[in-house]
Amino acid sequence: MGRITWFFKSFMREPLWFKVVIIVTFLTAIVFSSSAFSSTLQSIAKLAAAIFFMTYGIKLRHSRLVSTIMFAVALISLYLAWTLII
């Protein structure tokens, strides 16, 4: 529980542009990942997820393990977006 409160407090101290990027990419990834949308919109959802994970990977770069995991998930999201486009 302490980790979640730290994460929330850290998020609230970020600049407005960072909050907007995180919220928009998170909501885009959730909304457009539905199977009701075409594969093009689903690939946009995967790209939004990749931006989300890449942003947090850069933000949490002081922890090498967490940053590496975020970058790996971002690369997986980019790969999935690329395969949906083709």
Chain mean position to CA 70: 9
Query: How far is the C-alpha of 64 from the C-alpha of 19, rounded, in Å?
Result: 23
pTM over 0.75: yes
Q: Give the orientation angle of helix 39-59 with respect to helix 16-32, to 10 degrees.
A: 150
Q: Which of 31, 21, 27, 30 is nearest to 51 (CA)?
A: 21
What's the pLDDT at 21? Answer: 93
Q: pLDDT tens across 11-69, in order?
A: 899 999 999 999 999 999 999 988 788 888 889 999 999 999 999 999 989 999 999 99
Going from N- to C-terminal start, the domains of the chain cover 16-85
